[in-house]
Structure 1
Amino acid sequence: MKISRIGRFAAIAAVGTIALTACGSDNATGKSESDNSAASANVSGKLSGVGSSAQQAAMTQWQTDFQNANSGAEVQYSPDGSGAGRKAFLSGGANFAGSDAHLKDEEYNQAKEQCGPDGAMDIPVYVSPIAVAFNVKGVDELNLDAQTIAKIFKGEIKTWDDEAIKKLNPDAKLPSTPVTVVHRSDNSGTTENFTDYLEKASDGAWGQKASGDWPKDFAGEANKGTSGVVSTTQSTDGAITYADESAVGDLKTAKVKDGEDFVKVSADSASKAVESSKKVEGRGEHDMSLELNRTPNDGSYPIVLVSYHIVCSTYKDQKTVDLVKGFENYVVSEDGQKSAASAAKSAELPKSMQEDAKKAIDSIKTK
C-alpha cells in the first residue's frame, strides 16, 4: 500500500458553518450550499448506518442535532462494531458505515459492486485517543511504554508488581495482584488501531500484525463492544483494557511514553499525532484514508484512532444523495465537530481536514 506525506495540517481560516442542506443543485455564485446555517436545512427521509461503537456518543449527538434541524429526516445507527459496519455497507445493508479503520484494499475494490465504478470514500469524522484503562486497587497513576503494554496484553507480564512496570513507576506502590487482560471479542476498529500501535511502536515486543480480531493465542477476558470491555474492567480488580477515551468512565488511565515523555491521554494530544500522519495513495480523488503515525516523538499521545464514515461516491437516487450530503456535511462542520467534542471528549478534525472532507462530500452524486 503506497502512502504519501501530508504533513501537518496547516491552520486556515475557519470555514463557514456547514449546513445540513441538500447540496444537490448548481450554484451560480460558486459558494457551496453547505455554507448556510444548519437551521436552514430541509431534507427528509431515512438514512441507515452501522459500525463503530467508539463513535456511539458522537453519533448520538450528531443524530440529535441533525434530526432537530430536519424534522422529516431520520438517521439510524447501530453500533455493532467497525467490522460489522463495513460488512453491512459492502452488502448493501446500510447507506454508510462507521469504522475506526479505513477500507482494506480488497474491501475498497469490493465497494464498486454496491457503489458503482467510482466506489466508496473513507471520510474522517472522529478523532479520539485510545486509553489504556486499568482498575488496580491502590494505584491511581501509571506510566507505561509500548514494550511494556505489549508484554502486558500478550500475557507475559502476569502481576502488577512485575519489574518492568516497577522500572517505569519507581515511586508507585504496586500490588502483586494478577493482571487480567480484557479485550474485544468482536472485530473492532479500536482493536485494529491498538494492535497497529503495538506492532509499530513496541520494537518487536508485540510480534503480531495489526488486526481487528484479537490474537486467539493470547489469554484474557473477551467482551463485545466498548461498553463490554469497560464494564468488565470496572468490576475486576487487576484488570486492564483498551477503549475509546470517551467511554472509560471512572477507570484510571495510563500515561503512555512518546519520545522521552509520558503523555497523559487527551483529545488535544491525540490530535497532534493525526496532524503528522500520512495519506494512503492509490485510491479515489476524494478518499481520505490515513496511515497513522504511531511514533510521533513530539509529545503527542500515540495511541489514537481516526474513525471514518464510509460512503458511496454515487447513490441510486437524488433523495439519498441529499440525505447523505446533508448529514455528513454537518458531521464534518465546525458546529458538528464541536458538538461531538462536547458529547464524546473527542478531538475536532483539523480545519484543513474539515475542508477536504467537505469537498469530498460535495462530490457525491447519483449514478
Structure 2
Amino acid sequence: MAGPTRGAGSTFAAPIVTRSVEKYQTAPMDDGDFSSRDWTIDYELVGSLAGLMCLDQPELDFAASDAPVSHKELARHGRQQFPIVLGSMAVAVNLDGIEKDGIKLTGPVLADIYLGKIKSWVDPAIRAVNPDIAFSRPGDRRRHAQGRFGDHLYSSRGICRPSARNGRRPMVRIL
C-alpha cells in the first residue's frame, strides 16, 4: 500500500484543493465502479510561504502558493507550477453610523492606507472623497497585518503598485 500524497501551503486555495481531493479519492478506477482507499492526499493549510519552505522536505510532494514562483527559482529546484484557482479580494469597511456603501475610497486613498500614509478616518484625503460623512477620531481603531506572500502580497501589489506615490515597500494597513 502506498502512502498518501502530501501537500501544504495556501489557505486561499484550500477550498478548491479540499474539493479536488474529495473528488480524486472517490473517483472510480478505469471507468469502473472501483475506487481505492489507497488514493489519499493530505493537505496542510500552513500558508503560501510555509508551504514552499516545506517543499524542500522529502515528506512533501507538492505546495500551493498564492504568489507565483519565479522561473529561475523553479529551474533551480527542478519544479513546475500551474494555476489551480483564481480569486479576488475586496476591501470591507465597518464603521458605526456609516450606511452600507456609504463610504468612498479611491485608488490613491487605498494605496495610501496600505502604504501607511493614512492612519485615521479623519485624514483629509478620506474626508475629501466623503464630504457628507462626519468621521470622528475617538472611534478610530486600526488593525495591522503585513506580509510578502499570499493575500497580503496581492492586495499590496494590486493597490500600491499603480499608485504614483508608492515610495516605500507595501505594507497592509487596515483602519
- TM-score by length of structure 2 reads 0.76
**Match in the other structure for 1:191:** 152
For residues 187 and 78 of structure 1, the distance between their equivalents in structure 2, rounded to whole angstroms, comes to 20
**Match in the other structure for 1:111:** 77
Q: % of aligned pairs identical?
A: 25
Report deviation, 1:143: 2.6
Paired residue type of 2:83: P
Question: Equivalent residue of 2:80, what SS?
Answer: strand
Report deviation, 1:179: 4.4
For residues 51 and 89 of structure 1, the distance between their equivalents in structure 2, rounded to whole angstroms, comes to 9
1:37-48 mapped onto 2 (5 Å cutoff)? 46-48=4-6
Q: Which runs of 5 or more residues in structure 1 are unaligned?
A: 1-43, 113-119, 221-238, 241-367
Report deviation, 1:87: 1.5
**Match in the other structure for 2:96:** 137
Report deviation, 1:180: 0.6
97, 111, 114: which one aligns with 1:150:
111
Paired residue type of 2:123: D
CA shift digits 1:256-305 (9 cap, x unpaired): xxxxxxxxxxxxxxxxxxxxxxxxxxxxxxxxxxxxxxxxxxxxxxxxxx
Q: How has the CA–CA distance of structure 1 residues 91 and 103 changed in structure 2, closer, same or farther, with 3 Å as cutoff?
A: farther
For residues 57 and 136 of structure 1, the distance between their equivalents in structure 2, rounded to whole angstroms, comes to 30
- TM-score by length of structure 1 reads 0.39
| 8 Å Cα contact 1:52-1:98 kept in structure 2 | yes
**Match in the other structure for 2:120:** 159
**Match in the other structure for 1:74:** 40
Question: Equivalent residue of 1:133, what SS?
Answer: coil
143, 148, 167: which one aligns with 1:207:
167
Question: Equivalent residue of 2:12, what SS?
Answer: coil
Report deviation, 1:124: 0.8
1:55-74 mapped onto 2 (5 Å cutoff)? 55-69=13-27, 70-72=35-37, 73-74=39-40
Alignment of 1:178 with 2:140, yes or no, is yes
**Match in the other structure for 1:224:** none
Structure showing greater relative contact order (alpha-carbon pairs closer than 8 Å, 6 or more residues apart) = 1
Q: How has the CA–CA distance of structure 1 residues 124 and 137 changed in structure 2, closer, same or farther, with 3 Å as cutoff?
A: same
Give the strand-richer structure, 1 or 2: 1
For residues 88 and 76 of structure 1, the distance between their equivalents in structure 2, rounded to whole angstroms, comes to 14
Q: How has the CA–CA distance of structure 1 residues 87 and 144 changed in structure 2, closer, same or farther, with 3 Å as cutoff?
A: same
Q: How has the CA–CA distance of structure 1 residues 171 and 155 changed in structure 2, closer, same or farther, with 3 Å as cutoff?
A: same
Q: How has the CA–CA distance of structure 1 residues 134 and 202 changed in structure 2, closer, same or farther, with 3 Å as cutoff?
A: same
For residues 50 and 157 of structure 2, the distance between their equivalents in structure 1, rounded to whole angstroms, comes to 19
**Match in the other structure for 2:64:** 98
Q: How has the CA–CA distance of structure 1 residues 138 and 63 changed in structure 2, closer, same or farther, with 3 Å as cutoff?
A: farther
For residues 78 and 187 of structure 1, the distance between their equivalents in structure 2, rounded to whole angstroms, comes to 20
Paired residue type of 2:162: A
**Match in the other structure for 2:129:** 168
| 8 Å Cα contact 2:115-2:169 kept in structure 1 | no
The structure with the largest alpha-carbon Rg is: 2
For residues 127 and 75 of structure 1, the distance between their equivalents in structure 2, rounded to whole angstroms, comes to 22
Report deviation, 1:207: 2.2
